C-alpha cells in the first residue's frame, strides 16, 4: 500500500470517529433550557397540604427533569401570590378567592398581579376547629372568644372573615390572635385559644395529628352562610360535607369549600409550565400516596380556572393531551 493510500485511510478513520462522536452527542436528549435555573414552589405551613404537595412535586421534578426544585415555607395563598407575582417563586398554590382579589387588585393586593393558572387542583375545606370538650357548637358562639383567624398573608384570614361576616358575627367581636396553623394547633392544645380557622385539603396533616392526641370538633358552616359568602365574594364558595371519619369524627359536618389552583407568572416560559404539568399528571398516583388530595387532580377539570386565565404553556399542554 502506498504512503498516500495509508494517509487517506487514516484520514477516513479520523473523520469516521468524529462523526460517531457527533452522532452520539446529537442523539443525547437535550435538557430544557429553563431547567438551568432554580425552580421555587411557594407552598405554605409545614403542617399543611400545600407544603406537603409542594415537597412531593419538587421531588419528582428533580428526579424527572433534573432541575433544582425546592418548596418554600410560606403563610399561604396571599403570600404565595405575592411571591409568584414578584418572580420570587415560579409556581405556587392558592385559593381561588384570594386569586380573585389578586387579579382585581383588591383586599390584600394594592395592585393587580401578573399571574396565570397552571391547573385547578382540588377543593379545600374551611375548617373551624374547637376542642371536643368545649361548649362551643356554632360559629355564632365564637363572639367574645379568643380565635385565630389565620396568619398574616394567608388565604385562611380572607375566608375566616368572610365566614364570620356571613354568619353575622363581625370579626371585631372575636379576639383574633392571627396565628398560622402550627401556632394555632399549639394554642388550642394549651387552651390559649378557643378556636381556629383553617382552609386546606383533606386530611390536613397537622390537624390529623392534633386529632390523634386531642379530641376536636369541627363547627358547621351551613348552606345559608355559604350562599351569603358566595354571593358577596366572587362566586367561588360551595357547600359540602366533611365525610364521616374525618379527624376521627363519627358524623358528617356541613362545610364550605373553595377550589385551589397551581399558579404561575405570566412571564414564566411556556416550556416550564408544559413540562411541569407533564410530570404533575404522570406522577399523580405516586404523589397521592403521600398527599391524598393529589388524587383529585383531573385533567378534565384542571382547565376550569376562573377567575384567571390559563398560562399559554398550560393551554398548550391540555390541548396536546387531548390528541
Instruction: Quick: pLDDT tens for 138-195.
Output: 999 999 999 999 998 899 999 999 999 999 998 899 999 999 999 999 999 999 999 9
Within this chain, domains 33-121+260-321 and 124-259 share the same CATH topology: yes
Average pLDDT, the chain: 91
Residue with the bigger pLDDT between 20 and 224: it is 224
For 251-275, the pLDDT digits (tens) are: 899 999 999 999 999 999 999 999 9
Map grid coordinates 363572639 to a residue.
143
Query: Which of 177, 169, 126 shows the shortest CA–CA distance to 149?
Result: 177
Residue 259: CB partners within 8 Å, gap ≥ 6? 95, 96, 120, 121, 122, 123, 124, 236
Q: Classify domain 124-259 by CATH architecture.
A: 3-Layer(aba) Sandwich (3.40)
The single-letter DSSP state of residue 139 is G
Taking the CA atoms of residue 260, residue 266, residue 269 and residue 272 in that order, the dihedral angle to the nearest 10 degrees is 0
The contacts of residue 56 (CB under 8 Å, 6+ apart) are: 286, 287, 290, 291, 294
Portion of the chain with pLDDT greater than 90, in percent: 85
Left, alpha or beta for 178 (phi > 0: left; psi -120 to 50: alpha)? left
Using the structure block, give the residue that is written with the C-alpha cell 359540602: 240
Half-sphere exposure of 230 (CA within 13 A, CB side): 16
| Three-state DSSP class for residue 293 | helix
Which CATH code for domain 33-121+260-321? 3.40.190.10
Q: For residue 29, is pLDDT > 50?
A: no
Boundaries of every domain in the chain: 33-121+260-321, 124-259
Confidence of residue 14 (pLDDT cuts 50, 70, 90): very low
At residue 235, the pLDDT reads: 85
Q: What percent of the chain has pLDDT over 70?
A: 90
Amino acid at each position: 500500500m502506498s504512503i498516500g493510500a495509508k494517509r487517506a485511510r487514516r484520514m477516513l478513520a479520523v473523520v469516521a470517529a468524529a462523526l460517531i462522536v457527533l452522532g452520539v452527542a446529537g442523539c443525547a436528549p437535550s435538557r430544557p433550557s429553563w431547567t438551568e435555573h432554580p425552580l421555587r414552589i411557594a407552598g405554605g405551613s409545614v403542617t399543611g397540604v400545600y407544603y406537603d404537595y409542594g415537597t412531593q412535586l419538587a421531588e419528582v421534578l428533580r428526579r424527572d427533569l433534573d432541575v433544582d426544585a425546592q418548596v418554600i415555607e410560606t403563610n399561604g395563598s396571599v403570600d404565595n401570590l405575592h411571591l409568584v407575582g414578584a418572580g420570587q417563586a415560579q409556581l405556587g398554590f392558592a385559593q381561588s378567592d384570594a386569586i380573585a382579589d389578586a387579579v382585581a387588585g383588591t383586599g390584600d393586593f394594592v395592585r393587580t398581579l401578573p399571574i396565570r393558572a397552571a391547573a385547578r387542583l382540588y377543593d379545600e375545606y374551611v375548617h373551624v376547629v374547637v376542642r371536643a370538650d368545649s361548649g362551643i357548637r356554632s360559629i355564632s358562639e365564637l363572639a367574645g372568644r379568643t380565635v385565630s383567624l389565620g396568619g398574616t398573608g394567608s388565604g385562611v384570614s380572607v375566608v375566616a372573615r368572610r365566614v364570620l361576616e356571613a354568619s353575622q358575627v363581625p370579626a371585631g367581636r372575636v379576639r383574633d390572635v392571627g396565628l398560622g396553623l402550627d401556632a394555632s394547633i399549639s394554642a388550642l392544645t394549651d387552651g390559649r385559644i378557643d378556636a381556629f380557622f383553617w382552609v386546606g385539603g383533606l386530611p390536613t396533616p397537622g390537624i390529623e395529628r392534633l386529632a390523634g392526641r386531642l379530641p376536636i370538633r369541627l363547627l358547621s358552616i351551613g348552606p345559608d352562610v355559604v350562599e351569603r359568602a358566595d354571593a358577596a365574594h366572587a362566586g367561588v364558595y360551595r357547600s359540602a360535607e366533611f365525610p364521616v371519619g374525618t379527624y376521627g369524627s363519627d358524623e358528617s359536618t356541613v362545610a364550605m369549600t373553595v377550589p385551589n389552583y397551581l399558579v404561575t407568572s405570566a412571564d414564566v416560559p411556556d416550556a416550564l409550565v408544559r413540562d411541569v404539568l407533564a410530570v404533575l399528571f404522570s406522577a399523580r398516583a405516586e404523589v397521592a400516596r403521600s398527599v391524598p388530595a393529589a388524587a383529585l387532580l383531573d385533567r378534565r377539570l384542571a382547565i376550569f380556572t376562573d377567575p384567571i386565565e390559563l398560562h399559554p404553556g398550560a393551554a398548550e399542554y391540555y390541548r396536546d393531551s387531548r390528541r
